[in-house]
Amino acid sequence: MLSFKSLAFAAAVAFGALSTAFAAPAVVGSEVVARDLVAARGVAVILTDVHTKIQPHILELNSLVKANATVEVVTPIVVEIKGVVVDAVVEVIALAGASADVILAGVDGGVQVTVAVLAQIIADLLILVFGALGFVLSICADVTVMIPCLCIVADVIGCLICAVFSLVGSLLVGIIGAVVVLIAAILPVIAQLNILVLVNVFAGVKL
Ligand SMILES: *[C@@H]1O[C@H](CO)[C@@H](O)[C@H](O)[C@H]1NC(C)=O
């Protein structure tokens, strides 16, 4: 039976070979393979993975009632979400030098994502997060106290989406406009939390 290590190695080599036609590392050390494996995750997969990982925490936010919609209860939840998002930001930034077929790799590893497909993935993530943050704002007793707490996660989501836009902007022309039309419902929450990176990027879009 193959050990986990050799299975992981085989998977990494296969994944690396599929993801890039040009990479031909002279030395196939486990370090090199591990980095290729990480680099093989395109933006669509990274964002979909964030969506899945933060879902339980979003459910917690959506379970709040006025009595427990407090900074004490909300802070550990948003800190958990922030941790997931920060990892994704690092991963997106690391894709900067990758080829378009890696960056735009489809979720199923097949066809590359289009403007419409990636816009939907981005919009779904923004609606998931800002929908929950807007809900918390709507039930909490003191909005002024709650806003800085919600910005713990809102700011890093803004950071993630801007990193994605700057990475794919020249590959998928019109991506920002395609996202904006999908997220009309949560634009007021983004404005209320004053997430400048998003406010500015969306304000620049001509609809
Ligand atoms: C908040 O309180 C409600 C009602 O008691 C409860 O159902 C929910 O699980 C609580 N949420 C959290 C995150 O503590």
* Domain boundaries of the chain, sorted by first residue: 44-204
Name the phi and psi angles at 96, rounded to 5: -50, -40
Q: Measuring from each residue's beta carbon to the nearest atom of ligand 1, which residues come in under 6 Å?
A: 60, 63-65, 68, 73
pLDDT in tens, 29-88: 444 445 555 446 999 999 999 999 999 999 999 999 999 999 999 999 999 999 999 999
Ligand 1 center to 193 CA (angstroms) = 23
Ligand 1 center to 67 CA (angstroms) = 9
How far apart are the C-alpha atoms of 189 and 32, rounded to whole Å?
42
SS3 of residue 27 by DSSP: coil
Residues of the chain scoring pLDDT < 50: 1-33, 38-39
Ligand 1 center to 52 CA (angstroms) = 21
Q: Where are the alpha helices (DSSP H) in the chain?
A: 4-19, 30-39, 43-62, 71-94, 100-103, 115-139, 143-168, 175-180, 187-192, 196-203
How far apart are the C-alpha atoms of 132 and 130, rounded to whole Å?
5
pTM of this prediction?
Answer: 0.81
Q: Is 1 exposed, middle or buried (0-12, 13-18, 19+ CB in 10 A)?
A: exposed
Q: Is 73 exposed, middle or buried (0-12, 13-18, 19+ CB in 10 A)?
A: middle
